[in-house]
Structure 1
Amino acid sequence: MLLLSATFILTLARAMTLPYLVVYCAERFGLGVADVGLALGLALMASSLLSLYGGFLVDRFSSYQILLVAGSLFALAFGVAFHTAMLGVFFLAIVVVNLAYAVIDIAVKACIGSLVVAQRRGAVFSVKYTLTNIGFAAGPFLGVMLAKVSPGVPFAAAGLVGAVFVLAYALLGEKLSTPGTSVPAEQGFLKVLGYLFKDYRLVCFTLGGLLSVIVFGQFSAYLSQYLLVTSSPERTYQLINYLVTTNACVVIGLQYLVGSRINQGNLFRMLCLGMLFFLVGLVGFSVAEQVPVWVIAMIVFTVGEIIIIPTEYLFIDYIAPAHLRGIYYGAQNLSNLGAALGPVLCGLALSLYQPQVMFYVLCLCVVLATGFYYMGCKAKEGAHDSL
């Protein structure tokens, strides 16, 4: 329970600042919106790449040490972001925040794989994802209230929340700690990385995950792009509000109910079902004009999301050697690069073709992702040397 609480608390803290990063950077540092978007995208990509090494460290040290150090960096980086007047230091702090959050997320997933019996992991992963979404839903509202005091206060509050978590975990977390693995020290990061690249199943699932995240990772961004092209800004704001709220309600209401039914025996069937829901939802978006049609399409689309997330977690848990769970989840975390690619790809489609073509491009991503998932699921175990 403490580990799942960490997911909620730190997600809540991070979500308090996310909606205001662009505005805060524009006001404090005088950057244009395009420059801020590019810088934040690069920060996200850098933290995703670095989290691979973070996963390696998760395997080498106890979960207690990892969570304390990463939590401390999380809190400290938010404090630096609040106090600094230097643009470079601010974005370095944002990279550290995202990296620390990613490492904590990897450590929590690795702990679930170690502490929870296989039959219950799907349900626990679903609870984790539900808590993450509750944090992302509640965080911005808290941020709004805090930003009324001063634009930088959400950053200070996030750092304080992180510090409180570190203190609580320092007192209570050692009992739940999982030890580091017994991988020989001479088997360094590069050797382990080479081992990962030889794992055909992991490579296929990482590519499939990247394509999937293009579809659902930043859906509000590409739907906003589409609506701005096809309607007015006022209608865009109204519809996006409805759709984001619908997504959050469906995830919170159905994630555990659906996720608890996913197990290692039905992984590929559930992946295919999730991808089918994505396809139907995207087609629904492409023909939607009235608000009820948009909402129904979002409900269908979100069901696909709540199937895919825990299924991917379970598959990585299934193929990862016990002593390499951390870096396997770190490799899976690379699929978050798709969140940065999605708006770029959709922007190109909108600028070059008819607006509806954007959804056909996303449907192609779904089909390709399903193909990679199929190759990963059907590949034989032990296709490379052990480590």
Structure 2
Amino acid sequence: MPRKEMSLKWLIIGAMFSSVGMSFVWPLTSVYLHDRLGVSLTWIGIVLLFNSLASVLGSYLGGYLYDRKNPYHLLIGGVSGTTLTLIALTLFHGWPTFGIILFFNGIASGWNVAVVNSIGTSIKSEDSRYIFNMLYFAQNLGIVIGTSLVGFIYSISVTLMFVVATTLFLIFLIIVLLEFKPAANKSDKKVSDTEKTTWSSKSLPKANAIMLFTFFLSLFIIWIMYQQWVSNLSVYMTGIGIPLRNYSFLWTINGGVIVVSQIIINWISRYHENMILEVFFGIFLMASSFVVLIFAKTYPFFVLAMVTLTIGEATALPTIPALVNTLTPVEAKGRYQGLIQSWASAGRALGPLFGGLVIEMSSYTALFIIATSAVMLVLIGVIVLWNILHGKLVMYR
């Protein structure tokens, strides 16, 4: 007898293979293009911007189509698309072919994350917060595994790096083909195709629509500021005499703290359930990490800032999709999960450019002060609007 519901175990395993595979592509894109192919930093910035914009497009399309089409077929299409782009990168990784293929890879990877998260909303046997915590845990564990191996494999051969990534996505594709068929049964929800197609965002209660937009805008701003850690902080730290390997080790700490934090958060969530408090606490810690950066001049301060950022990230970022899930009806869960990824990807796309402009016009200290202020304003906005609207919000299963 076929399973009625998608297995969370296979969803998590699939998400992890996808995350490890993509971790063989994005961390070394800039280094490879600049050092091996001699591409200018301006062109690299353009390539990364278009890759992020492609991810925004893929996330939106994947989420939008989830509500209208068979999720099983959508994920087969997305994973197949990613696999094909990785095969293309294995064969053709010169310039400008690399940049063009990376654009299509961005569409496919955004699509996959949106569809996987949307499938998570269809699992009713587990609490939605637990599902999104575990997906976040798997995706970050994948990044830890991938980024710890990619430097070693890159030093052997660039081609080998893409061969390994392709192999991981072929395994993911086999897992999808064999274990994701129950995802097609999401129409257990008893929603007809006509209802899915005719459902309009006007049908959403006004309070829900305002709160959802607040969460999307919050993610956009948070990710713009978070990207300073990824893009500009390495230059700042090396500029004050801290070795690059010490900066790289911060991301090992980030991965480790996320894994430990998720275990603790999942344990606490069995006994206490208040998702919005987790969001408040997480955003507050993320803002606090930038306060530490304002005064950081020695490595222990950067470690403290990273640990603070990571605990905040691990608390708030997986909880927001779970809250969005409870604020959206079954006809539109995919659309709104896709929008989460789209707004986050847009923030990631603009982050390095925003930081670069602030540094050029002023200083790193000014950037950290702006980041602190922006994330604190996000926190105040979310608290105020939640307190005004929470009595009018309609909660869905």
TM class by smaller structure: 0.7 to 0.9
Match of residue 4 from structure 1: 12
Amino acid across the alignment from 1:303: I
Q: Deviations over 1:235-273 (max 9, x none)?
A: 151431232222111111112312554599523322221
1:216 equivalenced with 2:226 (yes/no) = yes
**What is the total number of aligned residue pairs between the two structures?**
378
CA distance in structure 1 between the partners assigned to 2:38 and 2:232 by the alignment: 26
1:373 aligns with 2:376: no
CA distance in 1, matches of 2:35, 2:234: 23
Alignment of structure 1 residues 22-61 onto 2, 5 Å? 22-26=30-34, 30-61=38-69
Residue 310 of structure 2, aligned match among 294, 302, 322: 302
Query: Residue 80 of structure 2 corresponds to which residue in structure 1?
Result: 72
Distance in structure 2 (CA, Å) of the matches to 1:213 and 1:92: 25
Greater Cα shift, 54-63 or 84-93 = 84-93
Structure 2 CA distance for partners of 1:228 and 1:345, relative to 1, 3 Å: farther
Q: Distance in 2 between matches of 1:319 and 1:20?
A: 38
Do the aligned partners of 1:207 and 1:372 also contact (CA within 8 Å) in 2? Answer: no
Contact 1:183 1:323 in 2 (8 A): no
- Shift of the 27–247 alpha-carbon distance from structure 1 to 2, 3 Å rule, reads closer
Q: How much is the aligned-residue C-alpha RMSD, in angstroms?
A: 2.9
Structure 2 partner of 1:325: 333
Contact 1:75 1:162 in 2 (8 A): yes
- Does the 8 Å CA contact 2:153/2:161 hold for their aligned counterparts? yes
Any stretches of 5+ residues in structure 1 without a counterpart?
A: none
2: CA distance between counterparts of 1:115 and 1:90?
38
Higher alpha-carbon deviation: 266-275 or 374-383: 374-383
1:284 aligned to 284, 292, 298, which one? 292
Q: CA deviation at 1:19?
A: 2.4
Identity %: 21
Q: 2:359–2:366: 8 Å Cα contact kept in structure 1?
A: yes
Partner in structure 2 of residue 146 of structure 1: 153
Q: Deviations for 1:17-59, whole angstroms, at most 9, x for unmatched residues?
A: 2222224334675422321122122221122134212211111
After the TM superposition, which of the residue ranges 357-366 and 143-152 deviates more from structure 2?
Answer: 143-152
Partner of 2:4: none
* 1:201 positional shift: 2.1
Match of 2:133 among 126, 131, 146: 126
CA-CA distance at 1:331 after TM superposition: 0.9
Q: Distance in 1 between matches of 2:41 and 2:200?
A: 40
For the 8 Å contact 2:286–2:312, the answer to whether it is kept is yes
- Report the CA distance shift for 1:376/1:55 in structure 2 as closer, same or farther (over 3 A): farther
| Whole-angstrom distance in 2 between the partners of 1:183 and 1:204 | 29
What residue number does 2:372 align with?
Answer: 363
Matched, 1:174 2:181: yes
Q: Equivalent residues in 2 for 1:244-255 (5 A)?
A: 244-255=251-262
Question: Conserved in 2, the CA contact under 8 Å of 1:44 and 1:98?
Answer: yes
Compared CA separation, residues 182 and 28, structure 1 to 2 (3 A): farther
Cα displacement (A) at 1:187: 3.7
Structure 2 residue runs without a partner (length 5+): 1-8
Deviations 1:297-342 (A, max 9, x none): 2212211111111221111111111121111011111222111222
Using the TM superposition, name which of 326-335 and 293-302 deviates more.
Answer: 293-302
Residue in structure 2 matched with residue 156 of structure 1 by the alignment: 163
Give the counterpart of 1:338 among 338, 347, 351. 347
TM-score (ref. length: structure 2): 0.85
CA distance in 1 between counterparts of 2:377 and 2:392 reads: 25
Q: Does 1:350 align with 2:374?
A: no
Following TM superposition, by how much is the alpha carbon of 1:285 offset from its aligned partner in structure 2, in angstroms?
A: 1.6
Q: TM-score, length-normalised on structure 1?
A: 0.87
